[in-house]
A = this chain, B = another copy of it.
Amino acid sequence: MTVTPVKPTLQDIAEQAGVSTATVSRVLNDRPGVNDDTRSEVLRVAKEIGYVPSITARGLATDRTYNLGFVTYKRDPQPISSYHLNIIEGIDQAARESGCHVITTYVKREDMTDLSNFSMFREQRVDGLILAGPALKTSFIMGLYNSHLPIVLLDNLLSGLEIDAVVCDNRAGTYSITSHLIEAHNLRRLVFLSGPSHWFSSKERREGYEHAMREIDQKPEVFYMPDTTMNTGYDTTRDALKLFPDLEGIVAVNDASALGAIRALKDHGLDVPHDTAVVGFDNVTWGPLNEPALTTVRMFKREMGFQAARRLIDIIERSAPRGFQLRLGTELIIRESCGCPREASEPFYTDFGS
């Protein structure tokens, strides 16, 4: 059947349809100024010979790659965070809708020191970049920004810069979940487990917590952690317990550290949520599986990814004005770790179902 698996080109269509390559190109790109009969004939031939455009050739001619880059951080030996999975899903969809594909890469700390390590990427592979997460170095981001490659930040923001970003309303999120602990469960002595103070989302989340605390004239107590992993959440909770033995609740900057906190409290002989409430932020898929099921703030990661990609494509294709910041809302997910009664159980949308 496929004796000569030689790919048909624009040229071939042109010959068989008896027109020039220019016309074929116009038809294939839906450009105006082609007679309807010609158009349909070209389309027919294209279909008949199974034509597929060469993205490479098109790329060379138009100075594009039709690829979007998704860059995020990886800390050895931790695995890549599943946090990104939903984001990628959104990015992938938006990309498809515009005929783009997504190249994903995971940079380590050392990869960020010199941009030229990253040059294959930066210079040639993609039309633009989505940079996700708080752990990417500012100097790294700035370098990219200065290179004039279109970039959009996701769940991060560099203040004072005309740099596009999509984030969620971190402040409102922690404010509402902290308020929930205060109002629904009558708790007051709450501490906040924060990520590094210069991380954008940590900072905003802390502010939401502080705001809620001040409303009841309670002094905010913040623990800054070097990272926001479960292990660190565990360790930091032990510290917190020493300083505040009468702790009533922990507001964690993310779910991972919240889960660590719960472990630490349990190991310390405390009951969660009876003795101490714990809440997180992120709504990881394991949340409902934990005992107690984790109360948390959901961020719409899929949507964030989608919007970030959309934005990036706008910049690339329409050279849209830069410096947009899109802030998405959040949703309070009440489960048990705050002290609420168990609800009818939700289906398990775990992300490891194969």
| Cα–Cα distance between A53 and B259 once the two chains are bound (Å) | 46
| Cα–Cα distance between A87 and B99 once the two chains are bound (Å) | 26
Task: Please tell me if the beta carbons of B146 and A2 are within 8 angstroms of each other in the complex.
Answer: yes
The chain B residue with its CB closest to the CB of A123 is B52
Determine which of B5, B54, B80, B231 lies in contact with A85 in the assembled complex, contact meaning CB atoms within 8 Å. Answer: B80
Task: Please tell me if the beta carbons of B2 and A80 are within 8 angstroms of each other in the complex.
Answer: no
Q: Which residues of B contact A347 (CB under 8 A)?
A: 231
| Cα–Cα distance between A148 and B263 once the two chains are bound (Å) | 52
Q: Beyond A124-B53, A148-B5, A352-B256, is A79–B85 a contact (Cβ under 8 Å)?
A: yes
Task: Please tell me if the beta carbons of A103 and B102 are within 8 angstroms of each other in the complex.
Answer: yes
Stoichiometry (number of copies): 2
Is A21 an interface residue when CB atoms closer than 8 A count as contact?
no
Binary per-residue interface labels of chain A (259-277) against chain B in the complex, 1 for a CB within 8 Å, 0 otherwise: 1100100000000000000
The chain B residue with its CB closest to the CB of A63 is B56
The chain B residue with its CB closest to the CB of A253 is B354
Is A35 an interface residue when CB atoms closer than 8 A count as contact?
no
Determine which of B56, B82, B104 lies in contact with A124 in the assembled complex, contact meaning CB atoms within 8 Å. Answer: B56
Task: Please tell me if the beta carbons of A65 and B56 are within 8 angstroms of each other in the complex.
Answer: yes
Q: Which of A135, A256, A352 has the most CB of B within 10 A?
A: A352
Q: Which residues of B contact A284 (CB under 8 A)?
A: 352
Beyond contacts A256-B353, A263-B348, A289-B290: 15 other A-B pairs, Cβ-Cβ < 8 A, are A52-B119, A52-B120, A52-B124, A55-B65, A59-B59, A80-B89, A81-B352, A82-B352, A102-B103, A230-B350, A230-B353, A231-B348, A234-B348, A259-B350, A284-B352
